[in-house]
């Protein structure tokens, strides 16, 4: 194999890697400057012909499955660029028969280290919210995030990452089919309700996700920075508590 062919093969392998991280555009020059390597017509065609679509789902979304089967199916997911950077995929934790599903944004550093959602400072606050205000043991609810892998430096989730990862959350909700959903913060609330309305206007009012009552509130990480907002979250959690422990069907206050 001559040098040019070797370089072209390495380049194709590199592009395949990029493709698995959902990179779908790369500027291509005919000549790679300093080494003066010219790709042949066939090699250029091979590269241009690469299918740059998002990798397919690792399960059939129409198939009935258990939560554990879903977890096993996605454990090696590389559908978006976050997959190559994680230590652990954070699927979610809690009861598969949970009456309440709590949805946050994405794992942070501690969650990425342990593979468990909400175990850092914000997680400790969430545990207190669940156990002291809603008055339910944490292990009885199911806690997860929109994104299952940590964005670098805890930056906001990007649109392509959410669209790659959301089928997993949809399937989790379909399997668990909870009595109600609590969303934490802007990203989870806006995604679930398919709305651009700011979280300050969404919070504290019941909406519906496929017929399941859903209450948005502020994210515990936001409360750590803005403790004065805790009183609003406390009010929201009391609404969750009332529905959780009774047969009350909440009135849908936001029809988005
Ligand atoms: S964030 Fe979601 S879609 Fe992206 S690699 Fe992780 S599990 Fe896969």
- pLDDT of amino acid 9: 62
Question: Which of 52, 55, 85, 98 lies closest to 73 in space, CA to CA?
Answer: 55
**CATH number of the domain enclosing 195:** 3.40.470.10
Question: Which of 74, 29, 72 lies closest to 56 in space, CA to CA?
Answer: 74
Contacts by residues 38-41 (CB-CB < 8 Å, ≥ 24 positions apart)? 38/4, 39/4, 39/8, 39/11, 40/4, 40/8
- Ligand 1 site, residue 67, Cβ cutoff 6 A: no
Same domain, 14 and 93: no
Same domain, 108 and 205: yes
- pLDDT of amino acid 33: 43
The residue contributing the CA closest to ligand 1 atom 7 is 148
What does the alpha-carbon distance between residue 51 and residue 18 come to, in Å, rounded to a whole number?
11
Same domain, 202 and 157: yes
Tokens describing residue 254: 């936001």
- Per-residue pLDDT of 23-35, as tens digits, reads 554 544 333 343 4
Least confident of 4-8, 57-61, 101-105, 235-239: 4-8
Owning domain of residue 11: 3-48
**Span between the terminal Cα atoms of the chain, in Å:** 61
- If one counts the domains in the chain, the total is 2
Question: Is residue 55 assigned to a domain?
Answer: no
The residue contributing the CA closest to ligand 1 atom 4 is 80
- Ligand 1 site, residue 147, Cβ cutoff 6 A: yes
What does the alpha-carbon distance between residue 67 and residue 59 come to, in Å, rounded to a whole number?
12
- Per-residue pLDDT of 183-220, as tens digits, reads 999 999 999 999 999 999 999 999 999 999 999 999 99
pTM: 0.81
- Per-residue pLDDT of 63-96, as tens digits, reads 999 999 999 999 999 999 999 999 999 999 999 9
């Amino acid at each position: 194999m001559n040098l040019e062919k070797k370089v072209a093969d390495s380049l194709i392998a590199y592009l395949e890697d990029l493709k698995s991280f959902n990179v779908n555009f790369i500027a291509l020059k005919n000549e790679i400057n300093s080494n003066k390597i010219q790709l042949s017509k066939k090699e250029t065609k091979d590269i241009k012909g690469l299918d740059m679509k998002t990798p397919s789902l690792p399960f059939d979304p129409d198939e009935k499955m258990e939560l554990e089967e879903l977890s096993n199916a996605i454990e090696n997911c590389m559908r978006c660029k976050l997959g190559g950077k994680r230590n652990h995929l954070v699927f979610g934790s809690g009861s598969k028969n949970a009456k309440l599903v709590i949805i946050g944004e994405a794992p942070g550093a501690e969650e990425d280290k342990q593979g468990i959602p909400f175990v850092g400072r914000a997680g400790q606050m969430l545990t207190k919210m669940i156990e002291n205000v809603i008055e339910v043991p944490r292990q009885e609810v199911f806690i997860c995030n929109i994104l299952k892998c940590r964005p670098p430096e805890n930056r906001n989730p990007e649109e392509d990452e959410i669209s790659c990862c959301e089928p997993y959350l949809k399937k989790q909700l379909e399997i668990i089919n909870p009595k109600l959903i609590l969303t934490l913060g802007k990203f989870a609330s806006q995604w679930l309700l398919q709305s651009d309305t700011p979280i300050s206007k969404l919070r504290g009012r019941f909406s519906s996700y496929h017929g399941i009552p859903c209450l948005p509130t502020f994210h515990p990480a936001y409360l750590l920075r803005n403790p004065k907002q805790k009183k609003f979250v406390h009010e929201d959690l009391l609404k969750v508590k009332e529905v959780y422990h009774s047969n009350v069907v909440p009135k849908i206050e936001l029809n988005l």
